[in-house]
Amino acid sequence: MTSPPTGKRPRVLSGMRPTGKLHLGNLVGALANWIELQATHDCFYFVADWHMLTTDYADTRELQSNIQDMVTDWLAAGLDPAKSTLFIQSRVPEHAELHLMFSMITPLGWLERVPTYKEQLENIKDRDIHTYGFLGYPVLQAADILIYKADAVPVGEDQVAHVELTREIARRFNVTYNGKDLPGLFPEPGALLTKSPRLPGTDGRKMSKSYANAVYLSDPPEVVRKKLATMITDPARKRRTDKGNPDVCPVFDLHKVFSKSSEIERVNHECRTAEIGCLDCKAILATNINTRLAPIQERRKVYEQAPQKVWDVLETGTEKARRVAQATMDDVRKAMNLV
Ligand code: TRP
Ligand code: SF4
């Protein structure tokens, strides 16, 4: 099958907050999907550094190194600057201008009703996020998406409400400034739901940097082995001779993602009969994860040794993104009679 030329392809756009180096959960959850979309879509992927500020405004010391570490992993994992436009949100100030315009037409009630808003207010206790910026998080996200007139937004379940709100903002803008029956300036994007398993970390909870339970894409093979060796298993399997239950074992959840079906079947069987011990089971998993990470770590070396290459990629991408964003803003200003 020949793929369509880049200009004709449907456009996808997605962003990631710069949390630093990425772990297996990030790879399986979003990144692998982003990489796959490069074959069929016109891809725009960006570092959502302003979104990071909505919750982490008080300590920005590691922001630049976190951007570099994350984008190094993007490139190592296979995002290809020849195929995708990779850029930094804050270097395209047009996002902020569109965010301001959208803030004029977005009812407060829409924002207060966003599920992630209420959840985060309840969950985040160590920082004060009762701010104007945090309430406006989805408005900024709508600006990110609509400024590139994206057709689809590859995101996880937790972001679907934000894409829905983006459509409502697009509709309201179109009706307000283009008239009810005229074609609107903004297309209404859909969420491209990433159907990915939620990976457990070494303590059995969701793999997350903040839980210190993650296996990183940059972890050397011995580190992967050591981390897995400490991983929680079926809690009822205390002795080697006890029969286990893979259905309640987080190690088995990782097998399902990283091992061949023949190995998954074998572990599934031999765990229940106590033929295989947890140490051997984990060793097989470690080998498979290391095999998956090997080409990533090989590519990573190039960017680790010359970090300037990472920044150069971002600069080129930012220039391209900015031209698209500027063209949209010209139309927005016209539609709103600001020029
Ligand atoms: N809110 C997204 C997240 O936390 C990141 C993000 C910001 C984003 N702007 C976006 C995702 C635009 C998709 C499109 O994961
Ligand atoms: Fe989990 Fe594997 Fe041990 Fe079974 S053998 S309990 S699947 S680690």
Residue 164 lies in a domain: yes
Residue 250 lies in a domain: yes
Which residue's CA is the nearest one to ligand 1's atom 13? 14
Nearest residue to 71 (alpha-carbon basis) of 313, 290, 298: 313
Q: Do 81 and 157 share a domain, yes or no?
A: yes
Q: Note the pLDDT of residue 6.
A: 62
Our answer on whether the CB atom of 15 is closer than 6 Å to any ligand 1 atom is yes
Q: Do 67 and 96 share a domain, yes or no?
A: yes
The amino acid that residue 300 corresponds to is: R
Please give the residue range of the domain that contains residue 88: 11-199+307-335
Which residue's CA is the nearest one to ligand 1's atom 14? 14
Q: Do 28 and 134 share a domain, yes or no?
A: yes
Residue 5 lies in a domain: no
Structure tokens at 57: 């405004």
Our answer on whether the CB atom of 143 is closer than 6 Å to any ligand 1 atom is no
Q: Note the pLDDT of residue 3.
A: 63
Integer angstrom CA distances of residue 127 from 54, 59, 121, 134: 11, 10, 10, 12
Our answer on whether the CB atom of 231 is closer than 6 Å to any ligand 2 atom is no
Q: Do 323 and 282 share a domain, yes or no?
A: no
Residue 256 lies in a domain: yes
Residue 204 lies in a domain: no
Q: Do 166 and 33 share a domain, yes or no?
A: yes
Q: Note the pLDDT of residue 148.
A: 98
Residue 4 lies in a domain: no
Ligand 2 geometric centre to CA of 252 (Å): 6
Q: What b/e string do you get for 207-229 counting C-beta neighbours within 10 Å, with b at 16 or more?
A: bebeeebbbbbbbeeeebbebbe
Nearest residue to 85 (alpha-carbon basis) of 130, 138, 45: 45
Q: Per-residue confidence of the chain (339 residues) as pLDDT tens digits?
A: 556 666 689 999 999 999 999 999 999 989 999 999 999 999 999 999 999 999 999 999 999 999 999 999 999 999 999 999 999 999 999 999 999 999 999 999 999 999 989 999 999 899 999 999 999 999 999 999 999 999 999 998 889 999 999 999 999 999 999 877 777 899 999 999 988 888 999 999 999 999 999 999 999 999 999 999 999 999 999 999 999 999 999 999 999 999 999 999 999 999 999 999 999 999 999 999 999 999 999 999 999 999 999 999 999 999 999 999 999 999 999 999 999
Ligand 2 geometric centre to CA of 271 (Å): 6
Q: Do 173 and 279 share a domain, yes or no?
A: no
Q: Do 166 and 291 share a domain, yes or no?
A: no
Our answer on whether the CB atom of 284 is closer than 6 Å to any ligand 2 atom is no
Among all bound ligands, the one having the nearest atom to the CA of 256 is: 2
Task: Say which CATH number the domain at 223 has.
Answer: 1.10.240.10
Q: Do 246 and 319 share a domain, yes or no?
A: no
Q: How far apart are CA 208 and CA 215, in angstroms?
A: 9
Q: Do 272 and 324 share a domain, yes or no?
A: no
∠ CA 301-306-308, nearest 5°, is 135
Domain count, the chain: 2
